[in-house]
């Protein structure tokens, strides 16, 4: 049965989705591309470079590689500024307790994130030492919904994919977990995520991990 838990970072562990949105809004404004909050759902879980490609597609724009790099650097500079004061106060409800509970019960814990900022963020949140393995955007070549990030986490942990459970808040991430052949719990925010084995509105809804694991045992990892 399930032996390892893989957490997405942005929107599952920490409340940073609003900062990514703000930074992308400024990029879209520079490009004169209309960008509403519901469109931001399509960027969640997606790498920085692929997110920019989506915004360019929405605006039907083609720009040079140099200009792309300039915009990616600009986005990250704004984002880093917005999260400069991030701390354990920005953890999402229930996450610290849940990680601790899984650890105490012998589960391996990994991070599976598209963010190239994952390691400094975990350090600021004082969570770095709770993870057995950390797979961030720097270790991944193909963005979610490709399963690479989660398969890398499973291989580093030495736990087969069908024994891994992923917590995700993004549709691209749920798809990545399912594409990896893993179990997935959606952490809802807007009520529109589909495909996961189970949904919660917040991690603090999970009070009994044995009941959760038994509940999932009746289901098969979807492929």
Residues annotated as catalytic (active site), given as ranges? 8, 10
CB of 80 to ligand BG6, least distance (A): 9
- Using CA atoms of 89, 91, 82, 174 in order, give the dihedral in degrees to the nearest 10: -170
Using CB under 6 A as the binding rule, whether residue 175 contacts ligand BG6 is answered as: no
Scanning 25-33, 39-47, 150-158, 208-216 for contacts with ligand BG6 by CB under 6 A, the matching segment is 39-47
Residue ranges in 113-142 that form contacts with ligand BG6 under rule CB under 6 A: 113-117, 137
Residues near Mg ion, by CB under 5 A:
8, 10-11, 169-170
CB of 183 to ligand BG6, least distance (A): 20
Residue ranges in 61-120 that form contacts with ligand BG6 under rule CB under 6 A: 76, 113-117
Residue 20 near residue 79, CB atoms below 8 Å: yes
Whole-number Å distance between alpha carbons of 96 and 43? 26
By CB under 6 A, name the one of 7, 13, 44, 92 that touches ligand BG6.
Answer: 44
Residue 43 binds which entry of Mg ion, ligand BG6, none, with Cβ cut-offs from 5 to 8 Å by kind? Answer: ligand BG6
Tell me the Ramachandran region of residue 129: left when phi exceeds 0, alpha when psi lies from -120 to 50, beta otherwise: alpha
* Spatial strand order in the sheet of 183-187: 133-135, 108-112, 4-7, 164-168, 183-187, 198-200
- Copy the structure tokens of residue 151: 């398969």
Q: Which is nearer to ligand BG6, 18 or 67 (CB)?
A: 18
Whole-number Å distance between alpha carbons of 94 and 203? 5
Binding residues (CB under 6 A) for ligand BG6: these are 9-10, 20, 43-48, 51, 76, 113-117, 137, 170
């Amino acid at each position: 049965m399930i032996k390892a838990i893989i957490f997405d970072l942005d929107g599952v562990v920490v409340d940073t989705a609003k900062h990514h949105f703000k930074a992308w809004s400024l990029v879209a404004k520079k490009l004169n591309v209309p960008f509403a909050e519901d469109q931001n759902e399509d960027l969640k879980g997606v790498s920085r470079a692929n997110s920019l490609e989506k915004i360019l597609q929405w605006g039907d724009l083609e720009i040079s590689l140099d200009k792309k790099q300039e915009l990616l650097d600009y986005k990250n500079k704004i984002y880093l500024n917005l999260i400069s004061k991030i701390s354990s106060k920005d953890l999402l409800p229930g996450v610290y307790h849940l990680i601790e509970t899984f650890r105490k019960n012998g589960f391996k814990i990994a991070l599976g994130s598209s963010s190239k900022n994952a390691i400094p963020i975990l350090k600021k949140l004082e969570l770095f030492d709770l993870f057995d393995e950390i797979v961030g955007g720097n270790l991944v070549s193909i963005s979610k919904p490709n399963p690479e990030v989660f398969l890398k986490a499973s291989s580093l942990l030495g736990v087969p994919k069908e024994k891994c459970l992923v917590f995700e808040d993004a549709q691209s991430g749920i798809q990545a977990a399912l594409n990896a052949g893993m179990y997935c719990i959606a952490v809802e925010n807007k009520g529109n995520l589909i495909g996961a084995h189970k949904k919660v509105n917040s991690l603090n809804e999970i009070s009994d991990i044995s009941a959760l694991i038994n509940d999932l045992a009746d289901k098969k990892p979807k492929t």
